[in-house]
Structure 1
Amino acid sequence: MNALPRRRFLQISAAALAGTATGVSAQAAAPVQWRGVAMGAGATITLAHPDAEALIASALAEIARLERIFSLHDAASAVSRLNATGRLETPPFELLECFALCSAVHTASGGRFDPTVQPLWQLYAESAGQAPAQAALAERLALVGWQAVRFDADAVHLPHPGMAITLNGVAQGYVADRVAALLRTKGLRDVLVNTGEFHALGVAPDGHDWRIALDDRSGIAPSPVSLRDGAMASSAPRGTTFDAAEQIGHILDPQSGLPARTPWQLISVTAPQAALADALSTAMCLMDRAEMTALLGQFPAARLVHLS
C-alpha cells in the first residue's frame, strides 16, 4: 500500500486531442483543460462547454470537499482526526463508501490491500532512507490489520493505540469518480477527469476514445490506453521511494512489512470506477501474474491493460 502520491516518475497524461466536441460539448465550445493539483498529485479536467469555467469551479469545490475527508496532510480531515484519536463519530458517507470498497479488495486480495499500513509507512519515512530495525518493524506490524477496523454509520473505530489508516491507494480514484459523477449530473457527456487516476465520460474532442499515455521509465513508450465511459488507475512499486538509491519503494506488504519485491515497473488497470481500479492496481504490486489473474477473476469488469 502507498501513502504518498505515486506520480513522481510515471508522468501519466491524457492525450486530449483538438477537434469537434460531441454531445453537450458540441455547442460550438472549444475544449478547455484545467491543470492543477488534487490529492497531492498533478490533476487535469478536460471538457468542452460554453459554461466550462463555472463547471470547473464546481468540480474544484468538490475536490476540496473530498480532500477534507481523505487528506493525510490536513489535520482537520476526517482521516486525520480518525488517526489522531482512533475513533470518528458520524463518519461521512464518502468515507464509509471507500471503506466498503477497501473491505472488498482486502478480502479478494488475501489481505494485500490494507489501508492500515500507515504506521509502517511512517516508520520508513522516519528511517532516513535506511531499512528499519527488525524490532521497530515488528512493533509497527502489530498495528496492521484492516479486518480489525470497525465502521458503520455511527462511528469508525481503530482498536489499537497507534493504529492509523491511509486511503491513498484508493482515494485518488474515488475523487476522480465523484468529480465525473458531478459533471454528469450537470449534463456533460464528454469529460476526462484526472486526479492521478482517470475517469472518462464519453469521447475526446476529436470524437474518438480518450487516449491515456503511459510512461514506465523503460525507454520504450507503452501503447496508449483507450477509455470511453470507464476508468483507469496505475501503480508502480517504486514510483515513490524512501531512499536515494530508489530501492525502498512505497508499496509496503502488510504481512511482512517489507517493500514490494515484485519486478513490476508499472501496473495499469481499467474498471468502471477509478476507485476500484486504484485499489486493484495497488494490490497487484505485491502479486505475481497468476495472483493478479485470480484477483481480477473476482471483479469481472476490471482489466489489466499494462504490466511492465
Structure 2
Amino acid sequence: MFNSLILWFFGVLGLIKAQEQLFVLNGSAQGTSYLIRYYATDQKIKKEEIESIFAEVDNSMSLYKPNSLIQQFNKNQQVKVDQHFKTVFGAAQYYHMVTGGYFDATLAPLMRLWSKAVVVPNAQQIQQTRLKTGMQHITLVNGLLKKHAPNIELDLNGIAQGYTVDLLARYLRSKGLKSFLVELGGEIYVQGSKPNGEAFTIALDSPDEDCGDFVPKRVQIASGAITSSGIYRKLRYIEGYKVHHIIDPFKGYPVQNDVLSVTTYAPTAMVADAFDNSLLAMGLEKALAFVAKQRNLEAYFIYRDASGNMKDTASTGFYKIMVRN
C-alpha cells in the first residue's frame, strides 16, 4: 500500500508538470519592446499588472515623460525622490566608484554634443561641455536630490532598464512562478528551466556587418541576467572618429578602441547593465583584468584584432555558460 501511494504521488507530480504550458506577454515600454515568457499550469500574470510596473518606473526615471522626477530634477526643480529613484541613484553612485568613473550618469551633455556634430568638436567645446558633467555634483540627502553645479543633468537609463527587469522578475516570483524569462530592450533575466528540464538558451547579439569566419555564440543559464552593449548599431564616422553612444568620461570623446560589443552575466539585470557600457569604455585588456577581480560578474567581448579581423574572448566563468556549437 505504501509503495502504491508513493507511485501515485509521483504520478500526480508528473501529471502536474506535464500540464504546465507556456504563457507569453509582450508589448512596448521605456522606448523599446518587452517580452515575458513563463511556464505555469494557468495564467498567473495580466498585461495590465506588468504595465503598471513600467508606469511606476517611468514616472520616476523616464526621460520621455516631461513630468517624471528625473525630468523635474534636470529642469532645476527641487525633487523628493521615490524608492525606485533612491535605489537606482544609489546604485549609480556605487558603480561610478567601483568602475573608477567609467560608469557616469551625467554624460548627457557630451552625448548631445556628439549626436549633433557634423565636424569633430574642438578641444574648447569638449572642455566646456565636460564642465556640465560629474557625478560628484549631485547628492541625495534625506530624500532630496540636489545639484551643486549649474547645467548638471542626470540620465539613469544606463541601469534603469536593468532595474526594471529585476522588478518584473521579482513580481513574477511573488506570483509563485519558478520558470520564466524577462526581456526588455535586449536585457534578459532568466530563472528556472522549461518543463522538460531544458535550460533557456539565449543567442548573443553580434555585429550585422561582414563577420568573416566569426560564429555567433549562445549561452544557457539556470538563473541570472544577460545584458549587452555594442557600438555597431548606430555607428557613424566624422573625420575618421567613430561616433556612437559610449562616451569616454575622462576625455569627452566617443570611445575609440577596438571593442565592438560586451555582454555581461551577473545575478541581477541592474548589475549586468551597470557594467556592459563601462567595460566597453575601458577597452579589452583593462576590462578583462577588471572582470577577473569581480565577484559574480562575467563578460564576453567581440573585438577587432590588429589585422582588423573580428575575434571574441571571454572571462573564465563566461565560457562555462556557453553552448558548444
What is the TM-score of this pair, normalised by structure 1?
A: 0.83
Deviations 1:58-83 (CA, angstroms, capped at 9, x unpaired): 12221222122221111111211111
Q: Distance in 1 between matches of 2:231 and 2:198?
A: 32
1:249 alignment partner in structure 2: 244
1:9 alignment partner in structure 2: none
Matched, 1:71 2:65: no
Range moving further from structure 2, 223-232 or 175-184: 223-232
2:280 alignment partner in structure 1: 285
**SS state at 1:138 partner:** helix
Give 5+ residue unaligned stretches, structure 2. 1-12, 304-325
- Paired AA for residue 301 in structure 1: N
Deviations 1:199-246 (CA, angstroms, capped at 9, x unpaired): 111113542221111231253442112122211111113433466999
- Paired AA for residue 182 in structure 1: Y
CA pair 185-225 structure 1, distance change in 2 beyond 3 A: same
2:94 alignment partner in structure 1: 104
Deviations 1:107-145 (CA, angstroms, capped at 9, x unpaired): 121101100101111222333x44334332221101111
CA pair 73-242 structure 1, distance change in 2 beyond 3 A: farther
Q: Distance in 2 between matches of 1:122 and 1:229?
A: 37
Give matches, 1:268-283, under 5 Å: 268-283=263-278
1:82 alignment partner in structure 2: 73
**SS state at 2:251 partner:** coil
Compare relative contact order (CA 8 Å, sep 6+) and give the higher one, 1 or 2: 1
- Paired AA for residue 114 in structure 1: D
Range moving further from structure 2, 99-108 or 55-64: 55-64
Q: Distance in 2 between matches of 1:243 and 1:55?
A: 45
CA contact (8 A) 2:241 2:256 kept: no
2:158 alignment partner in structure 1: 169
Matched, 1:61 2:52: yes
Select which of 23, 29, 37 maps to 1:38: 29
CA pair 62-242 structure 1, distance change in 2 beyond 3 A: farther
* Deviation of 1:263 (Å): 1.0
Cα root mean square deviation, aligned: 2.5
* Deviation of 1:35 (Å): 2.5
Matched, 1:229 2:229: no
Q: Distance in 1 between matches of 2:67 and 2:18?
A: 41
**SS state at 2:21 partner:** coil
Q: Distance in 1 between matches of 2:181 and 2:217?
A: 19
Q: Distance in 2 between matches of 1:199 and 1:145?
A: 31
Q: Distance in 1 between matches of 2:206 and 2:302?
A: 9
* Deviation of 1:253 (Å): 1.1
Q: Higher strand share goes to which structure?
A: 2
CA contact (8 A) 1:192 1:199 kept: yes
**Which structure would you say has the larger Rg?**
2
CA pair 115-192 structure 1, distance change in 2 beyond 3 A: same
**SS state at 2:276 partner:** helix
**SS state at 1:161 partner:** coil
1:184 alignment partner in structure 2: 173
**SS state at 1:52 partner:** coil
- Paired AA for residue 108 in structure 1: V
* Deviation of 1:195 (Å): 0.8
- Paired AA for residue 141 in structure 2: D
* Deviation of 1:297 (Å): 4.3
Q: Distance in 2 between matches of 1:157 and 1:297?
A: 36
2:120 alignment partner in structure 1: 131
